[in-house]
Structure 1
Amino acid sequence: MADATRDVERIYSTPEVVAKLRRLADALESGTSFRIQIAGERFRVPVRAEFSIEHERGDGEEEVEFQLKWKLDAEDDDDDDETVV
């Protein structure tokens, strides 16, 4: 996993989002880690990741963010019990 700071946002088509969210929901429900690729980088989200939903409003627009967050750990390099998203 790269140590460099990264902050990207990628726009996906509705079918792509549906597929990613469906696989993400399956992984969350089954309690397994998973890999996801965003803007060309593939990485592993561990089971211990915390899930939050954020709502922002301002300057004539609204935003909803679904966020998974976790601390980096040596376990993050393990590939057991994962689903590719």
Structure 2
Amino acid sequence: MIVEKGYSKAEFVSKLRRLADAIENENRFDIQIAGEQIYVPTRAEFTIEHERSDEEEEVEFQIKWKRE
């Protein structure tokens, strides 16, 4: 299942700041995406991905973890 929602620049910046603070302080990150509450544990792994095609480019900040 994929849940995706667009955000304004200000909303996106706010979420990134909260994420950075949570990572830096080794706290769980809580976020609601399109009405679904997500809890990102401190054991999550973080990657940055770049995709390129002839027509567009994309950078994704990814957070992954295994369910317990």
Q: Same fold (TM over 0.5)?
A: yes
- Structure 1: how far apart are the matches of 2:54 and 2:7? 24
- Structure 1: how far apart are the matches of 2:65 and 2:55? 32
Q: Give the paired residue count.
A: 68
TM-score, normalised to structure 2's length?
0.95
Q: Greater relative contact order (Cα 8 A, min sep 6): structure 1 or 2?
A: 1
Structure number with greater Rg is: 1
TM-score, normalised to structure 1's length?
0.77
User: What SS does structure 1 have at the residue aligned with 2:4?
Assistant: coil
**Cα RMSD (Å):** 0.8
Q: Percent identity at matched positions?
A: 65
User: What SS does structure 2 have at the residue aligned with 1:60?
Assistant: coil
| 2:7 counterpart (12, 19, 31) | 12
Deviations 1:20-57, CA, capped at 9 Å, x for gaps: 00000000001111211001100210000000000000
For structure 2, which runs of at least 5 residues remain unmatched after alignment?
none
For structure 1, which runs of at least 5 residues remain unmatched after alignment?
1-5, 74-85
